[in-house]
Every structure is written in structure tokens, then in C-alpha cells.
Structure 1
């Protein structure tokens, strides 16, 4: 019985390989891309884990209180933007009216 089992094992190992890579063919381009994508994803996960374990940098992440705003800076920025827009509009209107007058 042992001899028969050994013969079966030898026959199975000597059987013709099935499939591309088992038969000695190179892996397909699609398989290579899939492996590369999986490796890149694994590296990205490792990088993200390392970054999350690093010391926090910057204001709120480091435990500082967020800056309080009294509303003056946004209001001044809005007013300056409105003035610039009004000045540009005036320039365009004057230019068009001058072009009409000159024919």
C-alpha cells in the first residue's frame, strides 16, 4: 500500500503544470500592475500610520487654542475687495464710453 501511495505522489508531481505561471510563463502585465498597486497601497498605509504616530505640528493639533476673530479683518478684506471691484468696473465703463464717443 505504501508503494502505491508513493507511486501516486510521484505521478502527481510529474503531471504537466496547469496555468500560466505554473507552466513557467512570465506573469501577465495585468498581474504585475495588480501586484504593484497592492504594494503601493501597503506602503501608503504604512506611511499614514507613521504620520499619525508622529508628534503633532501646528496650532490646534498641538493643543493650542484656535485664534479668536473679532470680525475686523474679514470685514476689512471684504471692503477692500469691493473697492477693487468697483474701481475695475468704473475703468471698463469709462473705456467703453470713450470708445463710443471716438467712433
Structure 2
């Protein structure tokens, strides 16, 4: 796991993808690490501590195609953002992703 929490504010979490890690798997690992929920349900827990399917938020194949190793090597400069399991996820073409809990505005 290549997570980095230094030099950030309390709302940000940065995760560095390993060289052969697909972005979709990195999202699951990072969200699991931060939330404490399992990527795959543990037997006997009824799935209560498991992450929801990633495809409910984004097409994992499309995410991997857009931001695979080739985009990092060719200099493609972009990102994909979406909400997943209560986090604003931004996957960057330079091999990292960030998670942020949305800031809720209180009704006055």
C-alpha cells in the first residue's frame, strides 16, 4: 500500500498507484484503507462492512482505459472525478488519486 498522509489537510488523502496497479483497484484499496470497510465482504459479517460495487459510481473498465500506464507514459494530463462511498475521488493521470470527504453545508 502506497498511501501518503503527510503534507495534507485533514480532509485529503493521497494514494500513489504502483506501476502495475489499475486505477479501479487503486480506488478500492484507497477507500477501503480510509473507511475501514473491506473490499470483499468477510464471511459471516453479512456484507455490512464491505464497499459497494465500484461500477455503481463509475465504469471501472473505462476508468482503467483512460488512466492506464500508457497515459502516464505519453504525458496525458488529466483526471477523472466521481463520488464513491461518501468520498470525492479524483484519479490523476500522473499515477495518484486523492480522496476527500465532501464538506456539508449546514442549513441556516
Greater RCO (Cα-Cα under 8 Å, separation 6 or more): 2
TM-score of the two chains, using structure 2 as the length reference: 0.16
Q: If each structure's helix is expressed as a fraction of its own residues, which one has the higher value?
A: 1
Structure showing greater radius of gyration is: 1
Q: If each structure's strand is expressed as a fraction of its own residues, which one has the higher value?
A: 2
